[in-house]
């Protein structure tokens, strides 16, 4: 999907380059906060990935509750939990990621991708960033 077509469908907007977390991504990502952190119990942000961009393996830790929810908004992406096959993501898909599950998500290699990321409230929550999803692992997806 070309950017102009993607932009028409990305109703929550591109936002700014996600430079604060760039070290945890291969490729460029963009962040558009939809709510302000610390206001209310939930933080919603539109995360956009350029084609081929993905985040590192990571875990949303919590002793109670926690985890993350992805609401797929535009384009085509991937989600994968450790030890399981990757799932293709399309607009309208919802991914519920329990706390303490190692996973990654990002765009398919030939498409832009956008999802609303929701951090689920919990006790003792923290994110742990891990190794990159290698080019070799990534290139095998969808074959």
Residue 46's CB is within 10 A of a number of other CB atoms, namely 22
* Position 37 confidence tier, pLDDT thresholds 50, 70, 90: confident
Quote the tokens at residue 119: 């951090």
pTM (predicted TM-score): 0.93
Encode pLDDT of 59-110 as tens digits: 999 999 999 999 999 999 999 999 999 999 999 999 999 999 999 999 999 9
As a whole-number percent, the residues of the chain with pLDDT over 70 amount to 96
Tell me how far apart the alpha carbons of residues 36 and 22 are, in angstroms, rounded to a whole number. Answer: 21
Q: What is the mean pLDDT of the chain?
A: 94
Quote the tokens at residue 87: 């799932």
């Amino acid at each position: 999907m070309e950017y102009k077509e993607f932009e028409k469908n990305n109703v929550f907007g591109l936002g700014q380059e996600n430079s604060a977390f760039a070290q945890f991504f291969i490729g460029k990502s963009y962040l558009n906060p939809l709510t302000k952190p610390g206001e209310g119990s939930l933080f919603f942000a539109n995360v956009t990935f350029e084609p081929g961009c993905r985040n590192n393996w990571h875990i949303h830790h919590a002793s109670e509750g926690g985890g993350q929810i992805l609401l797929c908004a535009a384009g085509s992406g991937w989600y994968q939990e450790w030890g399981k096959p990757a799932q293709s993501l399309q607009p309208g898909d919802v991914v519920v990621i329990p706390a303490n599950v190692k996973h990654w998500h990002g765009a398919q290699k030939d498409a832009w991708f956008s999802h609303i990321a929701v951090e689920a409230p919990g006790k003792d929550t923290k994110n742990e960033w891990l190794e990159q999803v290698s080019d070799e692992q990534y290139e095998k997806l969808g074959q």
